[in-house]
Amino acid sequence: MTSLQDQLLQAGLVDKKKAKQVSREKRKQQKVAKKSTEIRIDETKLAVQQARTDKMARDRALNAQRDAAAQQKAIAAQIKQLVDNNRQSQGNGDIAYNFTFDKKVKTIYVTEALYEHLITGRLAIVAMEQRFDLVPRVIADKIAERNSDIVVKQAQTTNPDDKDDPYADFKIPDDLMW
């Protein structure tokens, strides 16, 4: 079977020069078409690679969020364990101790010994699960390192033996209650 070009040459409708020129143009078009498919394949590969890197970035962000949530849970569990293991019993106290928490004045009733420990700073108040617990100052400092929002900030009391105290000459009456 002969091609259309050969048939046209035999019939004398087209000369050899024109036939060669047409075949060259046809080969050029085929080359251009082949390159354009290669370019489209390259563009597809680039799009797939870009989608893969975007997915990896989203996965990393999700993993970071999960890790942060797990770390917060672990910190909360550590704080709960510290409070549970070191909680001081408030007893059936009859002395009111006032302090501020969340811009509100709160009151707990403690015994006289606990009241003295709170005033001198040996005990601190920790707010956990809608209640206030008393813990030693060392434990409160450890809790504050993990979450400072739940430790009630106590006013720094000065040592009565402090030589730089401007009010050292003024004695506080024993019956004065704040």
Q: Which residue has the tokens 């106290």?
A: 93
Q: Report the alpha-carbon angle 66-68-72, nearest 5.
A: 115
| Residue extents of the structural domains in the chain | 13-86, 88-178
Helix (H) or strand (E) holding 104, with range, is strand 104-110
Bridge partners, residue 107, by sequence: 98
pLDDT of residue 161: 57
Ordered per-residue pLDDT tens for the chain, 178 residues:
577 777 777 777 678 788 888 888 888 888 877 777 777 777 888 888 999 999 999 999 999 999 999 999 999 899 899 888 888 887 777 888 888 888 888 888 888 888 888 888 889 999 888 888 899 999 999 888 888 888 887 655 545 556 677 877 887 777 776 6
CA pair distance 116, 13, nearest whole angstrom: 120
Hey, what's the torsion of the CAs at 19, 20, 26, 31, to 10 degrees? 170
Output the CA–CA distances (angstroms, integers) from residue 89 to 12, 24, 42, 126, in the order listed. Answer: 117, 100, 73, 13
Q: Are strands 104-110 and 123-128 parallel, antiparallel or unpaired?
A: unpaired
* Predicted local distance difference test score (pLDDT) of residue 74: 93
pLDDT at 55: 94
